[in-house]
Amino acid sequence: MRLRKIAWATHRPVLVVEEMDASSKGFPRGKRFFLSVHPLSHHSLWSWIDAVVALGMRVKDREARAHNLRVARLCVHIGRQLSMSAHELRVLARAGLLHDIGKLAIPDGVLAKHTPLDDAEWSLMRTHPALGLTLLDRAGQSTRELLAVLYHHERLDGSGYPYGLRAGAIPIEARIVAVADTYDALTSDRPYRHARTDEEARRVLMEEARARLDPKAVHALFRALDIERLAAPAS
């Protein structure tokens, strides 16, 4: 099952899903399902987001779901090390969970490709932050979480996407998601490579922190990982 399109009718966001695979569970084959809300209130906004996340968890693979949850957890750990408030930590958790929701609109053949993406596929992949914002923002309002969805692939030196923002122009939530996302991506198996060790991932993040990733967020992640390792029971 995969996302077929996003449409808008009478100011309601409508998510259209069609079952594509005999192995898909939960919906009868060959039928479409429409999910919509009125974008009238803060409560409606989060009801819509929660519904989209729940649907996304049924549409995409188990590892993608686990990745989003790990990124959310790492974002909160980074925020705690940066002495962020309880409200800010909740924002980070939601941002980490939602950061890749735009990938619901990216074909599985691109997401799971075992060889390097070609130029056209890479251009398509780079649209997922904006697709995520479109999916969520039309529910009624912009929030700090949604800015993190849009900007989590921006980099301090302006080399990121979709807009090439630099340094302080990138919201802190997006900078934190970028660090958590990079670390989890490096330490997880991907279709085109095996996971790197914690030591290898830290080395990459240190190199990236010189120009591309927020150094304070990188060092906050390292402190959080060290604390977690010390607190873990000996095996």
CA distances from 179 to 1, 45, 63 (A): 30, 27, 19
Query: Residue 221 has what pLDDT?
Result: 98
Strands 12-18 and 2-9, sheet pairing: antiparallel
Domain-wise residue ranges, the chain: 61-231
* Gap between the Cα atoms of 175 and 179, Å rounded: 7
Q: For residues 18-40, b (16+ Cβ closer than 10 Å) or e, as one string?
A: bbeeeeeeeeeeeeeeeeebebe
* Gap between the Cα atoms of 103 and 128, Å rounded: 5
Query: Residue 206 has what pLDDT?
Result: 96
Q: Which fold has domain 61-231?
A: Hypothetical protein af1432 (1.10.3210)
* Gap between the Cα atoms of 226 and 136, Å rounded: 35
Pick out the chain residues at pLDDT < 70: 1-63, 138-142, 191-192, 234-235
| Strand ranges (E), the chain | 2-9, 12-18, 32-36
Query: Residue 104 has what pLDDT?
Result: 82
* Gap between the Cα atoms of 64 and 111, Å rounded: 10
Note the pLDDT tens digit of each residue in 44-65: 545 555 555 555 544 456 667 7
